[in-house]
Amino acid sequence: MKTPLKLAIVAALTMTVVAAVTLKQNKDKAPSETNSVVALAATNAQVEITSDQAAPDANGKLPKLLDLGAGKCIPCKMMFPVLDDLKKEYAGRLNVEFIDVWKNPDAGKQYGIEVIPTQIFYDAEGKELFRHVGFFAKEDILAKWQGLGVDLAAKPAAGK
Whether 73 sits among the annotated catalytic residues: the reply is yes
**What is the Rg, in whole angstroms, of the alpha carbon atoms belonging to the chain?**
16
DSSP 155: P
Which residues are CB-neighbours of 94 under 8 A, at least 6 positions away? 62, 63, 64, 65, 86, 87, 145, 152
Give the separation between CA 99 and CA 73, rounded to whole angstroms: 13
Q: Out of 76, 86, 101, 107, which one is annotated catalytic? A: 76
Q: Out of 73, 79, 113, 116, which one is annotated catalytic? A: 73
Catalogue the active-site residues.
73, 76
